[in-house]
Structure 1
Amino acid sequence: RLHEDSEIEEFYLCVWQREHISEILVKKDRTIWLGKVKSLSLDFYAISILPKLKLHEDNVMEEFDLYVWGREHISEILVKKDNSIWLGKVKSLRLGGCKVNLLPKLRLHEDSEIEEFYLSTESGGDVSGILGAGNSSIWLGKVKKSLKLYGYAASTLPKLKLHEDNETEELWLDAKKEECVSSILSAGDRS
């Protein structure tokens, strides 16, 4: 166990085979104390330990990065409750491909101020977990610099909840097909 006031500049873990972390996966959620982490990067099966990590309640993360090739790397997280994985304040949050469906599982600090928020996916299945959520149900806080949604991720816009005093410099929706934004087009005004 790390000291309760520990501060980690960068926590990076890459796991190619699930059996290499099997002992960690049987632990209860939020039992591996890391304290404050400025940069958190998990690759492949290492992403499965995300619910096991416990971050400081005042954590301010510069960068949150996940790298996967397929759904098998995130399947254990997709069954977790929404808002069950505490990140604290995150300045850069980028999710692409199947990782986009992890967004409802993440919980950000109520005073979160994100500099850059970016979601990107070419598959409607990668947003299916988000589209089932209620409108304005995924808290982001303030997104100061850029909010970018690419492909089917553009359809998640009504699900995102921003701080009432939010002022974003750049809102970028890039949907190559009408079906990428069909949920927005069918929503009522001011929804």
Structure 2
Amino acid sequence: MKQVYSNIKTIPKKSIRINAENIQAVGNGICVLLKLSSGVYGHVPDLLLEASAKDRIEEILETKSNMAWIGRMENLLLIERAIETLPFLGLHKENKTKMICLCAKHFENVAGILSIENSSVSIGDVKKLVLCDYAVGILPKIRFREENEMESLALSLIFCDRNAEISKTKNNSIWVGKVGSLRLVGHAIQTLPKLRIHEENVMEELVLSVSYEHIT
């Protein structure tokens, strides 16, 4: 596998043109993203990136490449260390995405992105945003459009020790705009006073799934 990884790294950047409905890059495979041309044919509806070690994504982080073609994604799933590629995926304010899902069960996999300024990561126009475990702490880092309207915002945080970043956030400081459905699971309920929702928002659904230990 090391030889395969070394061979991939020798491929010139933006030299591969593809036409695919789904891209799944796991581990060493993530480095292939830099080899894909900005002229990817059509659009790729689904993109999944998963990495458990920083060296799997360090080429993306070091080059700070803006892979604008990813902005045409409909669904984006980033797992563990792959979450740190989020600022480099070219998701500017004009992008329209059906769903973005970020999941991290280990703090070290989001430590880098947690060190950046709040409201500095643009994700464009997203209909559904799902953050799980340590990824919930990334919420203050996301910059939502002033006119942002989401169909659904779901936050799931089962263990208390994964809530440190949200606990440090000021109340009413995380702008999320208009939200049709808000789901908070476990310790994620503690994000509720941190959210700043549009004053004209009419929420269709509010789901709070908690036990006593999650609110003490």
How high is the TM-score relative to the length of structure 1? 0.82
| Per-residue CA distance 1:21-70 (angstroms, 9 max, x = gap) | 22112133x73323333211112221121122222321121110123331
Structure 2 equivalent of residue 180 of structure 1: 214
Residue type of the alignment partner of 1:71: F
Q: What's the counterpart of residue 183 of structure 2?
A: 148
Aligned to 1:158: 193
Q: Structure 1: how far apart are the matches of 2:131 and 2:91?
A: 20
8 Å CA contact 1:11, 1:39 repeated in 2: yes
Which residues in structure 2 correspond to 1:14-163 (within 5 Å)? 14-28=50-64, 31-33=66-68, 34-144=70-180, 146-163=181-198
Higher strand share: 1
Report the Cα distance in structure 2 between the residues aligned to 1:17 and 1:126, rounded to whole angstroms: 19
AA aligned to 2:125 is: K
Deviations 1:96-152 (A, max 9, x none): 2111111111112222211111111122232221222222111111111x2111221
Q: Which one-letter code corresponds to 2:94 in the other structure? A: D
Gaps spanning 5+ residues in structure 2: where? Answer: 1-36
On the 8 A contact 2:95/2:125 being kept in 1, the answer is: yes
Deviation for aligned residue 1:7: 4.9
Structure 1 Cα separation of the partners of residues 80 and 168 of structure 2: 26
Larger helix percent: 2
Shift in Å at residue 87 of structure 1? 0.5
For 1:109 and 1:36, the matched residues in 2 are separated by: 18
Q: What letter matches 1:108 in structure 2?
A: F
Residue segments in structure 1 that go unaligned for 5+ positions in a row: 183-191
Q: Tell me the C-alpha RMSD between the 2 structures.
A: 2.3
Residue type of the alignment partner of 1:154: I
CA distance in 2, matches of 1:16, 1:47: 10
Look at both structures and tell me which one has the larger radius of gyration over its CA atoms. Answer: 2
How many residue pairs get aligned? The number is 179
Quote the Cα distance in structure 2 between the aligned partners of 1:156 and 1:67: 17
Alignment counterpart, residue 202 of structure 2, candidates 164, 167, 187: 167
Could you say which structure has the greater relative contact order, defined with CA pairs below 8 angstroms and 6 or more residues apart?
A: 1
Judge conservation of contact 1:36–1:56 (CA < 8 Å) in 2: no
Q: TM-score, normalised by structure 2?
A: 0.74
CA contact (8 A) 1:85 1:107 kept: yes
Q: Identity across aligned pairs (percent)?
A: 36
1:76 partner SS: helix
